[in-house]
């Protein structure tokens, strides 16, 4: 009975077949390098003959590794799985890198206080080897709580007060390209639909807009949305009332830009004839907008891949750069 566990070959069975001790088999299975090469080959051959598969839970007790990494998105599931392609793009990038290294991805969202507490307990409770965060809001204590628990953390964007490596894009430089493009076209009143100001991306894209206009001696026209299509449309309608003479809009996300296009069309304003519109992201649907959307491209999937590579390096005890900033570029289409 000692040689099987519910029909599975055991360490004892492998040890008997290889003619070694159970402890030797355990060291080989758990990747220790102190085993004689000849004994290692005997153990590996015996394990292959018997079809032995290490018990993951038992192995984790020895190695203190789960071979799984969490990606936490502090948004509701409705938001994460909406028409915003940012989250699926990051998830694809993370999953591809982890899969290549034989790691499991655990995806978690924290849309409510209850789910927030549940995720905190799970992430800090030794169930995963490391945690990545995407779309963090300034007032979210979760990244700090997880990091203080000794779990390796990598973030998408710098988190105030948290000393953890992060991956981001050149928000300011990308917006500068967009606004300078509008100025070069001779646009007089360039408004922005900014993103939420409790997020690094929202603040930095607004900073890029404000700095570029200031350098050109222009006055800003500012309104704030939440990166969604609905907020872009609603904010554009308000801008048309408060600034009827505006002739250009930079929206801090493509979804907001598409909402702005819909509002302009409903108001009888032509794009780009009356109002030029530029977005940020270069989501797939940007090239199919009416008209096709000029936008700042950010490498969404590469953000996820780079985050995962940082995490894998941390788990191997390797030093990683505190920040990695990926480039952005202006993609010119018919809307501007």
In tens, the pLDDT along 31-89 reads 666 778 888 888 888 888 887 766 554 444 444 567 889 999 877 777 777 777 888 89
**How many CA atoms within 13 Å lie on the side-chain side of 311?**
33
Q: May I ask the CATH class of domain 4-63?
A: mainly alpha
Helix (H, G, I), strand (E, B) or coil at 21: coil
Q: Give me 19's structure tokens.
A: 């003619």
Burial class (CB in 10 A: 0-12, 13-18, 19+), 172: middle
For residue 194, the surrounding DSSP H or E stretch is strand 190-194
| Reported pTM | 0.77
Of 1-15, 25-39, 158-172, 235-249, the range with the lowest mean pLDDT is 1-15
pLDDT at 151: 85
How far apart CA 8 and CA 315 sit, in angstroms, is 30
Alpha helices, H only, the chain: 11-18, 22-29, 37-50, 56-63, 77-80, 86-100, 113-124, 142-148, 171-184, 200-215, 229-242, 254-266, 300-315
285-306 mean pLDDT: 94
CATH code for the part of the protein at 171-299: 3.40.50.2300
Q: Where are the domains of the chain?
A: 4-63, 68-168+301-326, 171-299
How far apart CA 176 and CA 280 sit, in angstroms, is 12
pLDDT at 2: 44
Q: Do domains 68-168+301-326 and 171-299 have the same CATH topology?
A: yes
Share of the chain above pLDDT 70, in %: 93
Q: May I ask the CATH class of domain 68-168+301-326?
A: alpha beta
Helix (H, G, I), strand (E, B) or coil at 179: helix
């Amino acid at each position: 009975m000692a040689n099987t566990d519910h029909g599975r070959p055991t360490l004892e069975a492998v040890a008997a077949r290889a003619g070694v001790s159970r402890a030797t088999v355990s060291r080989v299975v758990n990747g220790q390098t102190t085993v004689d090469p000849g004994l290692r080959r005997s153990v590996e051959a015996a394990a292959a003959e018997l079809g032995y598969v290490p018990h993951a839970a038992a192995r984790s007790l020895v190695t203190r590794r789960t071979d799984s990494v969490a990606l936490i998105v502090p948004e509701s599931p409705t938001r994460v799985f909406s028409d915003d392609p940012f989250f699926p793009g990051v998830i694809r990038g993370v999953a591809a890198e982890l899969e290549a290294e034989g790691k499991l991805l655990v995806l978690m969202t924290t849309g409510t206080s209850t789910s927030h507490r549940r995720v905190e307990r799970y992430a800090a409770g030794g169930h995963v080897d490391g945690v990545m965060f995407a779309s963090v809001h300034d007032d979210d204590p979760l990244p700090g709580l997880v990091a203080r628990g000794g779990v390796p953390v990598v973030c998408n964007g710098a988190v105030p007060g948290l000393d953890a490596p992060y991956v981001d894009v050149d928000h300011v430089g990308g917006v500068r390209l967009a606004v300078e493009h509008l100025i070069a076209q001779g646009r007089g009143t360039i408004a922005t639909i900014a993103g939420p100001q409790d997020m690094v991306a929202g603040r930095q894209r607004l900073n890029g807009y404000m700095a570029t206009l200031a350098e050109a001696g222009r006055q800003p026209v500012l309104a704030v949305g939440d990166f969604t299509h609905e907020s872009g449309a609603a904010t554009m309608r308000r801008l048309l009332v408060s600034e009827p003479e505006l002739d250009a809009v930079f929206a801090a996300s493509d979804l907001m830009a598409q909402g702005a296009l819909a509002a302009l069309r409903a108001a009888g304003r032509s794009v780009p004839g009356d109002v030029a519109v530029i977005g940020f992201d270069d989501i797939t649907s940007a090239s199919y907008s009416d008209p096709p959307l000029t936008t700042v491209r950010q490498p969404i999937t590469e953000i996820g891949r780079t985050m995962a590579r940082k995490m894998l390096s941390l788990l191997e005890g390797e030093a990683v750069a505190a920040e990695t900033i990926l480039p952005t570029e202006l993609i010119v289409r018919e809307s501007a």
